[in-house]
Amino acid sequence: MIGAVKEQGVSRLVWLSSFGVGDTYRSASAAQKLMYRTFLRNIYANKELSEKAIRSSGLDWTLVYPTLLTKAPAKGTYLAGDRLPMKGNPKISRADVAAFMHRAAHSPEWIHRDAVITD
């Protein structure tokens, strides 16, 4: 992906990751950590490798870490931050994640930053 982006002269990359990958693991609940270490271990390991490549790519990247995704309609009232306090089993609609990613792609606010996003 990084090679193709550079080949096309694109400098902006907004990448969808998963809550629990990288530094966001520390904010996860004990139940979430158990799931990440067992069922999602290989997937999350691959995500961490891709994120390392993105961070060192020279691109204007943003890594997006949504909490549990739902099919609910967009609320437009989500929270986004480098780190957010997590309680219970936080969720966010795919529509709100898409809206955030679109906004991030068209603004310098999130360049070279991680964005945890939840309702």
pLDDT digits (tens, 9 = 90+) for 88-114: 788 999 999 999 999 999 999 999 999
The whole-number pLDDT of residue 66 equals 95
Query: What is the fold of 2-118?
Result: Rossmann fold (3.40.50)
Q: CA angle, corner 1, sides to 12 and 112, nearest 5?
A: 35
The CA radius of gyration of the chain, in Å to the nearest whole number, is 14
Q: Is residue 11 within 8 Å of residue 105, measured between CB atoms?
A: no
Amino acid letter, residue 14: V
pTM: 0.90
Lowest mean pLDDT among 20-24, 26-30, 59-63, 71-75: 26-30
Number of H helices, E strands in the chain: 4, 6
State how far the Cα of 16 lies from the Cα of 96, in Å rounded to an integer. Answer: 13
